[in-house]
Amino acid sequence: MFSEIFKLKELSAKLGNDLSLIQASGGNTSIKLDGKLLVKASGKKLKNALNEDIFVSLDLIKIRNELAINKSKKEFNFKNICGSSLRASIETSLHAIMPYKVVLHTHSVDTIAITLLSNSYNYLDKLMKDINWKFIPYFKPGITLAKAISKEFQDNPNPANVLVLANHGLVVGEESIEKAEALHKEIISRLKQKPRNQKTPNIQKLNSIINKIPNSRLPTFEVIHSLATDQQSFKYVQNNSPFPDHLVFCGRKPLIINNDFSFKENTYGIIKGLGVVLFEDSNIATEEMLKAQAEVFLRIPANKNINFLSDKDCDEILNLESEKYRKKLFI
């Protein structure tokens, strides 16, 4: 048992250190052992799995029973079960219902990019031949998503072990850590998308602008500037957020900066054709999510319409107490 837990921690840290798969405290991993579910805690980073306590141990039977009798879409308070100061991930219910010992859930930029396309299923179907997979339309993360997925497993003798979640990411399940890692690697390889080339931002000009904006700075990752310098990305970025974690850490929309530098409330601003400016309330989570957003948009084929989160979707996520808690950990 202990060797399996250590292997899970090793794999979690490996996934968590790849920003194309995991950003900030997003994503989660789990293993089912002796009637217990060991799953990543809310707000914890997978990359810290080897040097920090990031997992909570839950009673798997109790969780499944609670999910079976919970007919509402209200989130179940897993704190009542785990007896730990850590809070179980909002995706705990998803891990519990998956009929596989090991579950990996990542926010791959390549996967998200494909799922934003209006014809994403047809595109995916060509890439996933001979894979036991299922496409899941967008549902609010948490119990709403878990209940939608659970229908795939009801009375199914051969349940999918790969789930592609629209506007969200990838879930794989297997009976060992080695098999789960191999399957995840295979799917990531199949879904790899070539990004468009990005223009080199004019850092000198951007620095002259941020001098006019109190407590502002430029992002660490240069690719973030493509949200302003890439014509298609700039068009996309003016819409609602494309995926939940980006919404939580970056907000619904950026501030589009013209000649007026007196604003506030946003965590970042975009100057068309020039680049991105981060404001006082931004942090490393903001940057990692903006990097993911930029990478996603650069992977969308030219002149394609894509699906963003609706106003209703955004309101539901921003009002989740669990997401407010997760964001607070970065402040």
Structure tokens at 24: 């900030």
> What CATH number should be reported for the domain whose range is 2-190?
3.40.225.10
Give the start-to-end residue ranges of the domains of the chain: 2-190, 203-328
Please write the tens of the pLDDT for every residue from 226-283. 999 999 999 999 999 999 999 999 999 999 987 655 555 678 999 999 999 999 889 9
Q: Judging by beta carbons within 10 Å of its beta carbon (0-12, 13-18, 19+), is residue 10 exposed, middle or buried? A: middle
Instruction: Give the model's pLDDT for residue 73.
Output: 66
Rounded mean pLDDT of 151-155?
Answer: 86
Which residue from 166, 160, 108, 96 is spatially nearest to 131, judged by alpha carbons?
A: 160
Tell me the one-letter amino acid at 313: D
Q: Where are the beta strands (DSSP E) in 34-158?
A: 36-40, 55-59, 102-106, 133-136
Instruction: Please check whether residue 20 is in contact with residue 295, taking contact to mean a CB–CB distance below 8 angstroms.
Output: yes
Instruction: Give the model's pLDDT for residue 80.
Output: 57
Instruction: Give the model's pLDDT for residue 81.
Output: 66
Please write the tens of the pLDDT for every residue from 159-192. 999 999 999 999 999 999 999 999 999 999 999 9
Q: Where are the beta strands (DSSP E) in the chain?
A: 28-33, 36-40, 55-59, 102-106, 133-136, 162-165, 169-174, 255-256, 268-271, 275-278
* Average pLDDT across the chain, whole number: 92
Cβ-proximal residues to 121 (8 Å cutoff; 6+ apart), any chain: 135
Instruction: Give the model's pLDDT for residue 66.
Output: 85
Question: Is residue 330 very low, low, confident or very high in pLDDT (cuts 50, 70, 90)?
Answer: low
Whether pLDDT at 302 is above 70: yes
Whether pLDDT at 58 is above 70: yes
Tell me the one-letter amino acid at 213: I
Instruction: Give the model's pLDDT for residue 155.
Output: 82
Please write the tens of the pLDDT for every residue from 9-19. 999 999 999 99
Structure tokens at 135: 């496409």
Sheet holding 268-271: strands in order across? 255-256, 268-271, 275-278
Which residue from 24, 310, 261, 230 is spatially nearest to 269, judged by alpha carbons?
A: 261
Question: Is residue 55 very low, low, confident or very high in pLDDT (cuts 50, 70, 90)?
Answer: very high
Instruction: Give the model's pLDDT for residue 213.
Output: 85
Residue 209's CB is within 10 A of a number of other CB atoms, namely 18
Instruction: Give the model's pLDDT for residue 262.
Output: 55
Please write the tens of the pLDDT for every residue from 101-121. 999 999 999 999 999 999 999
Please write the tens of the pLDDT for every residue from 71-97. 766 777 676 566 678 889 999 999 999
Phi/psi for 258 (5° steps) reads -105, -110
| % of the chain at pLDDT higher than 90 | 80
Whether pLDDT at 35 is above 70: yes
Question: Is residue 156 very low, low, confident or very high in pLDDT (cuts 50, 70, 90)?
Answer: confident
